Amino acid sequence: MLTKRIIPCLDIKDGRTVKGVNFVSLRDAGDPVELAQRYADEGADELVFLDISASEEKRKTLAKLVRNVAYAIDIPFTVGGGISSVEDVGILLENGADKVSINSAAVRRPELISELAQKFGTQCIVVAIDAKQIENVWVVHLVGGKVPTERKLFEWAAEAVERGAGELLFTSMDHDGTKQGFANKALKQLSETVSVPVIASGGAGNVQHFIDTFALGNADAALAASVFHFKEISIPELKSDLRNNKIPVR
């Protein structure tokens, strides 16, 4: 059985790590390079960096930050935010990113997924999907969750994988920052819909939530931010508890 991954997520705005609730009310959570080093030392399996101001303010993720992180850590990391071209991805990978996460640009022009997969390989293309329930239907949203689309979660996930996504990062906007647990029912359906790994995001508040998303949601990895940033959950203790619940971790 493949081991489950624990992935701290660092939302970056103006070069600092920030964290909010339901995608708003941001507060400072520290220096991203220092946090990255700490998580690598504590046993995180991977890291995700999302430049949350990039899509909104139409600016590119800073290659310099990627370079600094690559020097500081020895675990894989994914970078996303404002990526909209083959050129953008090339710059990030050249500066040390292992994978890239694309979101809004992929929904607006799905061919981008195919172009990136063909150029760089599916293994480094993560399609991030932000969705919330509207009248019991999971609707895909763009621009940091501000803009609803015509896309529905499961159909879009299947298309993204068909076009070459090597991994999906699903964030439930309804659960994000609430610390009430992951969207396990949707995650389970998602994992049954696609053939690639699914990363659960949005809602981690305690160790049980991680246990549940692996056991009930069939997630391949669990991503969280504030519970790690503010030391509410320690990664070594989390992994120990997961092992005790017969969930395989590294």
Catalytic residue among 11, 45, 176, 212: 11
Classify 103 as helix, strand or coil: coil
**What's the rounded Cα separation, in Å, for the pair 76 and 217?**
24
Q: Give the sign of the dihedral formed by CA 244, CA 4, CA 236, CA 175.
A: negative
Q: Token pair 């990039």 is at which residue?
A: 54
Find residue 28's DSSP bridge partners: 18
Task: Give the relative orientation of helices 184-193 and 153-163 as an angle to the nearest 10 degrees.
Answer: 40
Choice among 45, 88, 130, 212 that is catalytic: 130
Distance CA(20)–CA(5), nearest Å, equals 23
Distance (Å, rounded) from C-alpha 56 to C-alpha 119? 26
- Tell me the C-alpha distance between 153 and 207, whole Å: 27
Active site annotation includes 11 = yes
* Alpha-carbon span 139 to 149, nearest angstrom: 7
Cα–Cα nearest to 2, from 224, 204, 197, 242: 197
**Lookup: tokens for 97:** 């990113």
Q: Is 41 a catalytic residue?
A: no
* Residues catalogued as catalytic: 11, 130
